Structures are given as structure tokens and as C-alpha cells.
Structure 1
């Protein structure tokens, strides 16, 4: 176990987005089961909201590190305060989770300054004393793993114990009556079939054209489904525009559900239709089928171990990343950009996935009218 078998106080650094953290869940589970360790997570304000629903996490430290794209940035002197705070925990070891396009060395420097003697991380170049348990990063130039497998393989270098690979979030079923009341406020009839359409994105390059969302929603409604439009409080304007243009059969729930209720809501939906953003990983974690309109950015982040359909669409040249590693993926994996998908194609995949999931035994709330297609 590389000397980690006696480590019981571990700092896990996952400083980016909610979806990234959800995909690290099985790796955190491996630490928890294999080492029986206390897990303290250092993460961003963007990911912090999901942490109460990941049972492996014992404590959370929220800090928006400046070397990760954030909505907010901390003052430079706050880094020194963070280091002093970390010192007080007397951590036995730290693990740094990254996407292959991220550099772990700034996070490793924080751990080094905090006096953490053992640090596990992928790194492309030799980190010398900054990363004691160094795993050379061969992605994406030799192969590409899904993010879940990438994180599990990293932890496997110090903790070789079998755990389930599925994503997992705590679902609060006792909150369903309150959610049902909120659904009534939107006008949605919970006795009839409904699905979720989530159009909001954290990065503009993943944005799907509004006119195609509208036409897709209209076609889904014509098949007998209500469309619940979800989004954050900051996405109310977008969702309102979509609901107005779609009209009858679409219901605006932007900003209505805090993260815990959103998890429960998604667990009850027939299907989630979204772009590649954090809610797709929530859906995978609660077992709800996903159709994802997947901007050709990072192929590591498709829905994991849940019935799904991935429909790729191109990223405009002006929005493509300047990161050299991502550019390599764009020039190889995405050398032939996908065509923008037609609403009829998206709708067909949605109906087919709901049908196949129903046949496999998944239970939904409400059923289509007999004269409407499923």
C-alpha cells in the first residue's frame, strides 16, 4: 500500500466544478473503505453545494484557487491564510484530483507549504519533492480514460481495495412532498409524464442554440410529455425565454429548487435532457436516464454507468480553448467536428431511451395518454 495503510487523516483536493467532484466520488469511496480514513475536501465555491450529499466527505474547506477557472477569485494574501489553516489539521497525506488538462503543481505547492509529507497526484513532468507519490500522466497522448476511471486508478496506487464504480449521491425522499407542491406552482401535472430539460451551462462554449432547444421541446411535448425547464437562479432569464417561446407544455422551474431538492427531483424524472454540465452527473448518480447534447470539449465526462445517449455538437472556433493539451484533443479526437443535431433526431433519442428504460424496469411518475406516442 506504499505506506498509506496507516494514514487516517487525508486531504483531498478537487478544486474545480460540481460535476468533477461527483465523478471523484468512487475514488473517495475507495479511500474511505480501504483506509478507514477521515476525508477532508478542499474544493471550490462552485462545487461546495453538492458536498453534503457525498457521504464519504467528513469535512469541507472552500477556497477558490486562482489556477482553476472560477466565478470568484480570492485575494493573494488569502493563500497564506489557507496554508496556515491546513497546517492545523496535521494531515497524514494529500491527493490531488485533476482533469488531464490541469497542472497539479500549484495545488501540490499548497500541500508542501502546509507540511503534508505525502502527496499523490498525476503530473506530466517530474515534480521532484512536491509530489512524493507521483503517477506520470499519459493522458490524453497515449489514451483517454473516463474521469471516474482516471481518479480510481490514481487512488489504486496507494489503496488497492475493490469498491463499486457507480456514482452516488444521497437522495432525500422525505422532501418529495414539498417538491411536489413547488411543481404544482409551475403548473406541471405530476400525474402525467414529464422530463427535465436543463439548458444552462457553466461555459459558453457548451451552449446549445436556443432555437434548437425550443423546437426540440415542442416535438417532445407533441409526444405526450411535459417539459420541466430547470436552471439556477442566475439562469432565470434564459429559462424564461425558452418557456415563453415553447408555450403550453413547458414549465419554468429556474431557481426554484435548492441542490438537495434538485437531486431528488432528478431522481423522479423520466429522463434528463441537458448539455454536458453538472446535472448530467447528478442524473447518473441517481440512476435517471440522460440524453446529453455534448459540446466537443472533453471526452472524459460523458454520463457514467447510467442509460444514456450522447449527441455531440461542435464548438465554434472562436470559443475553443487555448490550452495546448485540449488543443491536441481537438485536433485528433475532434478532428472532424460533428454536425449540429436536428431536433427530430434528439427527440427520437429521448423517446427511445425512455422506452428502453421502462422496459428494463425503471418506474416513472405518470404515463402517456393512450393516443400519444411513447
Structure 2
């Protein structure tokens, strides 16, 4: 790699929202080392919200997840050799091809278990992606080392930017009706998981809301605009029987991050918004079941660069994040639920009692440990 720093850089990440968010430490590292460089990203449509008002980026190019060949050729023609450096942050053929198309110099992250001949044909230098023993943040930052850049393990959450009109619109939406009455503290819950096997239970969320309201906290729900998310939130609120500010489907990811920054606590499953909450520095409880935390646990705010902040087994706290793991013997199985498909459930999360979540919430909020409910059986 030339000693002259690249003036233009493209970072390619055609994956999900969480993957895109966890690539931002690489972007931050490149921008910190080369402040005059123009850095762009290429992502799939629907994931660009993770980069909303990212200060390290000049431009975000978006492509449909299932774009036809003609559309992909148009994208390829638009970026053909426009960049001094292109970085493929995942080992997919799509990422490797776009890096080859765009960059005069090319580097990429490649699965250590896969044959590398195609990657070596596409890229000048590669870094192995250690899925089993390294967090995705630390794996991705191996790319920084390939080009002599000091890695910085800072996940950069989205935001709403400095524009006064944009901020005024957010404040109006956030405060009408009042999300947080004067003097009341806020807790944000994100009850819905995109895949059923990552989800907790409606009774669990409802019990947690009742406890929080009993401690005089305001509760707001975050979530996306999908019908399933809105319906799930409605069921949680109905079962809780408490006043809750339902902002599911009402906020962008940048606005959601702004709301989370104002909260005393965030609770959510293994989802992109939980990673955003961790990056915001808000005290965060992450509910984990089948997913391996070594690879995918939320990266705590300002955590130093290590292979991974998390142990594979057991619940523990790192910085502002408490990772609460189901305690079944098979956890984490690294499968898609007990029936091994995205719509199956995970018994380890179904069996996770609300009392466990509430106990951790009390600890994170600096409250006395709640007294367990006693069940008394009367013999007749």
C-alpha cells in the first residue's frame, strides 16, 4: 500500500442494519488517521438509517437487496475505479466484487474457514474473519491494520444532526403528547425482535413496564414501522395496562438514538437498536439467547479494543451494558431458535423470568433490589 494516504475511500457492507452499524469503528479509524480523505459507504436499502448523520462519511450509496443485474451494472459503472481504496467488510461475493470494481487498491475481510482463491483474485490484501473467537468489531478493525491505520473501537451511533429545523421537528414529535412529564425519568424499551428466536415474551415486557411505572419512571417504546412491530407493541401495552408512550414506527434511527440518549435505561433483545443504545452510552440491558455474545454482544461505549468484551456463557456487565443471557445449558447454541429457523422460538428466552430482568434493571438504575413475589399455597 502506498505511503501516500488515499484521498477517496469506499467501505462496502451489503448486510443488515446491525452489521452496518458495527462497521462504523473502521470508518472512524480511517477518518481519524486521514482527516482529509473523503469516505463513502455502499450498503443495502433499509440499512442506511444506521449511518444517519454519521460525521465521518461524505456519502452513502444505497442498492436494493435483490437488485436485478441491470441495476447492479449501473451501480458498478457509477463507482468504477473512482476510489483510491475500497474495503470489503464482509466476505460475500457481492462485497468483494464491488470492492474490485470501485477501488484502485482493495482490501477485504474474508471468512477464515472458506477458500480464499476468489478473494485473492479480487483484493490486494485480506484479513481473516475469526467468527468463533472474535467480535465483529475487532475482526473488522483488522482491515485498518492492513493499511497502517490505528484501530479505534468506537461504534458511532446515528443522530439527527445540527440542523435547527430537524431538531425542532424531533422535539415536537418527542414531546407531544409528553413522553416524559416534567421531573420524570425515562426508560426506553424495544420489545420487538425481527426474528422470533431472538425475542422475549409479551408477559415479560408487560411485567417490566408495570414495575418501571411503579417506580415512577416514564416508559417509551421504540421500534420500526413494520405492521408486525406495531401490533406487538400494542399487545405489550394492552397487557401492561399502564400509560406508555408508544413511538414504534414514529422515529428514524437517528431520532431513536436521540431519544435513547435522554433515557436512564434501555432494555432490548439482540437487535440493531440495542447496539445503538450501547454505543450511545446509555445504561443498556441486552437480552441474549441463541446468539453468541463473543461475536455479537453489544460493544460497550468507549470500550478498549480487545478480541471481544464478552464471555460466551453467563450474564455479566461490561461498561454501560449488562448482557443478560438465558441460563439453559445449551446457551448459546448459535442456531436460529430451538427449531432452527427464524420464526421458531428460543426456550432460553421464553423461560427468562421478568423477575430476572427487573432485578438487573433495579441494579442499573441504582434502586434497591425488588422483593421477590412469594406464592403461598393454601391447603383446603
Q: TM-score range by the shorter chain?
A: 0.7 to 0.9
Structure 1 residues 348 and 280 mapped into 2: Cα distance closer, same or farther (>3 Å)? same
SS for the counterpart of 1:305 is: coil
1:192 aligned residue (181, 184, 194): 184
SS for the counterpart of 1:117 is: strand
8 Å contact from structure 1 (residues 229, 243) kept in 2: no
- Greater mean alpha carbon deviation, residues 114-123 or residues 157-166: 157-166
Q: Distance in 1 between matches of 2:292 and 2:251?
A: 28
Q: Distance in 1 between matches of 2:177 and 2:197?
A: 33
Aligned: 1:263 with 2:257: yes
Q: Distance in 2 between matches of 1:200 and 1:254?
A: 10
Report what 1:33 is aligned to: 32
Shift of 1:222: 2.5
Report what 1:108 is aligned to: 96
Shift of 1:352: 0.6
Aligned length: 326
Shift of 1:288: 0.7
| Superposed CA offset, 1:44-64 (max 9, x none) | 122212323211111111013
Aligned: 1:131 with 2:142: no
Report what 1:354 is aligned to: 365
Q: Distance in 2 between matches of 1:208 and 1:226?
A: 21
| Superposed CA offset, 1:14-45 (max 9, x none) | 11222222222221011112234211100112
Report what 1:157 is aligned to: 146
Report what 2:288 is aligned to: 294
The runs of at least 4 consecutive aligned structure 1 residues that moved more than 4 Å come to: 168-174, 336-339
Q: Distance in 1 between matches of 2:7 and 2:176?
A: 47
8 Å contact from structure 1 (residues 308, 353) kept in 2: no
Shift of 1:4: 6.0
Shift of 1:183: 3.6
Structure 1 residues 219 and 351 mapped into 2: Cα distance closer, same or farther (>3 Å)? same
SS for the counterpart of 1:318 is: coil
Report what 1:117 is aligned to: 104
Report what 2:60 is aligned to: 60
Q: Distance in 1 between matches of 2:143 and 2:151?
A: 14
8 Å contact from structure 1 (residues 4, 158) kept in 2: no
Give unmatched runs, 5+ long, in structure 1: 66-72, 322-333, 357-374
Aligned: 1:205 with 2:197: yes
Q: Distance in 1 between matches of 2:349 and 2:190?
A: 21
Equivalent residue runs for 1:1-374 within 5 Å: 2-3=1-2, 5-35=4-34, 36-65=36-65, 73-87=66-80, 90-98=82-90, 103-112=91-100, 114=101, 116-123=103-110, 124=112, 125-126=115-116, 127-140=119-132, 144-161=133-150, 163=152, 165=154, 167-170=156-159, 172=161, 175=167, 178-179=170-171, 182-185=174-177, 188-234=180-226, 235-299=229-293, 300-306=295-301, 307-313=320-326, 316-320=337-341, 340-355=351-366
Q: Distance in 1 between matches of 2:173 and 2:87?
A: 42
Q: Distance in 2 between matches of 1:191 and 1:27?
A: 39
Give unmatched runs, 5+ long, in structure 2: 302-319, 368-380
8 Å contact from structure 1 (residues 230, 252) kept in 2: yes
Q: Distance in 1 between matches of 2:192 and 2:151?
A: 36
8 Å contact from structure 1 (residues 34, 159) kept in 2: no
Shift of 1:136: 2.9
Structure 1 residues 4 and 278 mapped into 2: Cα distance closer, same or farther (>3 Å)? farther
8 Å contact from structure 1 (residues 168, 286) kept in 2: yes
Report what 1:372 is aligned to: none
Q: Distance in 2 between matches of 1:187 and 1:286?
A: 19
Report what 2:309 is aligned to: none
SS for the counterpart of 2:27 is: helix
